[in-house]
Amino acid sequence: MTTDQLHRLLLDNLNTAVLLLSDKLLIDYINPAAESLLQISSARLCGTSVDGLFANSGTIADALHEAIKLGRPHTRRHEYLSIHGADSSQVDYSITPVELNAKKMLLMEMQPIDRFLKINREEALLSVHDTSKSLVRGLAHEIKNPLGGIRGAAQLLDQEIAEQGAGGEASELCQIITTEADRLRNLVDRLLGPNHLPQVATLSIHEVTEHVAALIEAEVQGKLILVRDYDPSIPEISGDREQLIQAVLNVARNAMQALMDVSQSSRQIVFRTRVQRSFTIAGQYHRVTCRLDIIDNGPGISSDIKERIFFPMISGRSEGSGLGLTIAQTAVNGHQGIIECESEPGQTCFSIYLPIKA
């Protein structure tokens, strides 16, 4: 392997976005991490001016020309990108003057600030989720034990009432106790999550979305528009089909209910799939992940509960159980994935990230 090949190999496998700029501030090279950050291929970017990438282009150009002229490295923080569709709108970047074949050039390294903030939020969310899950499991088991005793006592009492020929209202009260005990037991079972091991198999994420879309369409009977925006190139993932369907269905049904609860002329849910590169989940770096966005144009999530929507018993609807998103997050976490949410009036987006194994 030649030195040039080694350098190219190292640059191509860095997680940091790297660009090489000519003395005219034209992009000469970008590595795959930069392509992922900017969501534009190197073929389209090479030969274009780097200041076009930034919102504050005039100031950026002046700073870069000065770096070329004086040979002085510098760093700027919190600069906004102006690339349409880029995941991160804010970056830190460092400039290092270099010389290549007697030509002055600049090496630019960019770090997405938004993604670091998201990683911190993810870690906090996963930590709280693990804590609440352990608490709920312990509480659920403590509830189930006396609940079984209450149900058994109500059945025995009902039998004794029947043998004595009393029946009537007393028997009805026993039936109410039994029914409510069963309802509480089912609620506890839902809190505990799936009671079987995942049936892992290779599947397409679109198998999951199409199944959920069919259920939603059958339920709403044309009262909202369901849009499919799929990337057919997404590789297959490994997972439990039923658990993933349940997770996606819980999120989609929340969106559906939010739309059906308000009177607006246009109701729409979008299922959008994309390949997400260079993504970190729970501190683990994934070169490629599958991203499923479930987007609705409803009223948005109340700011009072936005930070707590994945906690058990937290719901924005008076008749909601507050378990749908908790169960969905548990199922996705079981696939080494995560669910994120961004919401504002007129658009709520739940993003499900699932690793794609090599």
Q: Highest mean pLDDT range out of 41-50, 96-105, 224-233, 340-349?
A: 224-233
Closest Cα partner for 269 from 253, 246, 291?
A: 253
- Does the structure show a pLDDT above 70 at 120? no
89 pLDDT tier (thresholds 50, 70, 90): confident
Of 43-52, 287-296, 305-314, the range with the lowest mean pLDDT is: 305-314
Tokens representing 339? Answer: 């669910």
Q: What is the mean pLDDT of the chain?
A: 82
Q: Read off the pLDDT band of 316 (50, 70, 90).
A: low
pLDDT of 38 > 80? The answer is: yes
More confident residue, 211 or 158: 211
Domain boundaries, the chain: 3-113, 116-192, 200-355
In terms of average pLDDT, the best of 80-84, 179-183, 296-300 is: 296-300
Residue with the bigger pLDDT between 88 and 43: it is 43
| Cβ proximity of 105 and 143 under 8 Å | no
Tell me the mean pLDDT in the region 140-164.
82
Cβ-based neighbour number of residue 182 at 10 Å:
12
Residue 286: phi and psi, rounded to 5, are: -120, 125
- Is residue 320 pLDDT above 60, yes or no? no
What would you measure as the largest C-alpha separation in the chain, in angstroms?
A: 106
Looking at mean pLDDT, say which of 163-177, 232-246, 279-293 comes out highest.
Answer: 232-246
Residues 6+ apart with CB under 8 A from 344: 300
Percent of the chain with pLDDT over 90: 24
**pLDDT reading at 16 higher than 80:** yes
How open is the CA angle 157-162-167, to the nearest 5 degrees?
95
Question: Class of 3-113 per CATH?
Answer: alpha beta
Residue 164 φ/ψ, nearest 5 degrees: -85, -5
Q: Counting beta carbons within 10 angstroms of the beta carbon of residue 143, is it exposed (0 to 12), middle (13 to 18) or buried (19 or more)?
A: middle
pLDDT value for 62 = 87
pLDDT bracket for residue 268 (50, 70, 90): very high
Residue 352 has pLDDT above 90, yes or no: yes
Write down the pLDDT at residue 115. 63
Question: What's the whole-model pTM score?
Answer: 0.61
What's the average model confidence in pLDDT over 195-214?
87
pLDDT of 296 reads: 93
* pLDDT score at 42: 84
Q: State which fold the 200-355 domain adopts.
A: Heat Shock Protein 90 (3.30.565)
Token pair recorded at residue 179: 């029914």
181 pLDDT exceeds 70? yes
Please tell me the predicted confidence (pLDDT) of residue 14: 81
